[in-house]
Amino acid sequence: MDKIKIGVIGTGRIGQMHVENLANMRDNFEVTAIADPYAPNLAELAQKYQIPHYTNDYEKVLADPQIQAVVIASATNTHATIIEAAAKQNKSIFCEKPLAEDVPQIKQLLQVVKDNGTCLQVGFNRRFDHNFKQIHDYVKAGQIGTPQIIKISSRDPEPPSIDYVKVSGGLFNDMMIHDFDMARYLSDSEVVEVNAQGAVLVNPEIGEVGDIDTAIVTLKFANGALGVIDNSRQAVYGYDQRAEVFGSKGQAVSTNDRLNNVELDQNENVQLSEIPFFFIERYQQAYRDEFQAFYEAVTKKQAPVVDGLDGLKAVEIARACDQSLKTHQAVKL
């Protein structure tokens, strides 16, 4: 199996990006179908990337015996149904996070995936970031010894619209979920307790619809390490994505990315380069590299780097934070 024949279900912004990345990976993938119930530009998209089939009905993609794998980038509330259907068709599955909105539903779909022996990779793209992967690799290689303190800062350049906030599931499920996965990835351990602090400091309207825009969560890990994540919906200086792991033999620390390495020195002014605007720009290469990993997992029949359990764990931690914030108490997992 040289190339994987793959279909992409859901061709919104992220789905289109996936189509382009897969189309450019000519040695590994052949995009043979795209599906979206609404997208008006399906035909155009198919033509641009020379994709033979396009349809409004994803079931046609799943029914195509030539298609070996699918990317699910449709609305979150459709993930569970499509994953289960794809698993039953023995397709390898790449699904955008979150797998589903509630924990029992995820557990059920994971059982279906397991029963069908299907490969399922979840779209936690940040694991493939050049900085975070390097920290993880140092930890894995024992370069920092036993992890003791894990710190993650994750701040968006601007808050989403209030309409989005209303349906987002809240900051922990919508935003910090990436950091929960990152905490597990960097620490190489499971989160066993959370303690959440939240505040509305960016936009009062976010508070009015029952959400927070600023949060600090402390974590305890199974291996004894402590952790802390901070989130803000608005860093006016730009998208801020940093992490550090401190351990018995040292620490690995990343600074935020900038677009270039030029420093401008003027009288009373120093200017460093701009920051990549948001996740699409910052994680551009990571979005490509997660498919390389998916290719390896599928062709070598290995466990994917981010599997269904990872998808489940992040949601469980988010739910525990919701509870901690409400009860003002630590919540064990």
Residues within window 282-321 making contact with its own copies, judged by CB under 8 A? none
Rounded Cα–Cα distance for residues 154 and 177 (Å): 11
- For 59, which DSSP code? H
Site for its own copies in 138-197 (CB under 8 A): 138, 143-146, 148-149, 151, 153, 155, 195, 197
Site for its own copies in 68-127 (CB under 8 A): none
- Write the CA distances from 81 to 26, 28, 276, 322, integer angstroms: 30, 27, 35, 26
CB-wise, 67 or 286, nearer to its own copies?
286
CB-wise, 81 or 284, nearer to its own copies?
284
CB-wise, 91 or 156, nearer to its own copies?
156
Q: Which of 68, 118, 131, 154 binds its own copies (CB under 8 A)?
A: 131
Task: Determine the length of the chain.
Answer: 333
CB-wise, 155 or 178, nearer to its own copies?
155
**228 contacts its own copies (rule: CB under 8 A):** yes
Rounded Cα–Cα distance for residues 279 and 299 (Å): 28
Number of residues in contact with its own copies, rule: CB under 8 A?
Answer: 72
**48 contacts its own copies (rule: CB under 8 A):** yes
**Pairing label, strands 120-122, 92-95:** parallel
- Write the CA distances from 71 to 40, 315, 319, integer angstroms: 19, 20, 26
**328 contacts its own copies (rule: CB under 8 A):** yes
Please, what is the Cα angle at 49 between 23 and 29, to 5 degrees? 25
Q: How far is the CB of 19 from its own copies (least distance, A)?
A: 11
Q: Which of 232, 283, 298, 315 binds its own copies (CB under 8 A)?
A: 232
The number of angstroms, rounded, from the C-alpha of 330 to the middle of its chain's C-alpha atoms is: 25
Site for its own copies in 256-285 (CB under 8 A): 256-257, 259-267, 269-273
**Pairing label, strands 226-232, 214-221:** antiparallel
Q: Which of 204, 210, 236, 300 binds its own copies (CB under 8 A)?
A: 236
Quick check: 4 and 27 in contact, CB under 8 A? no
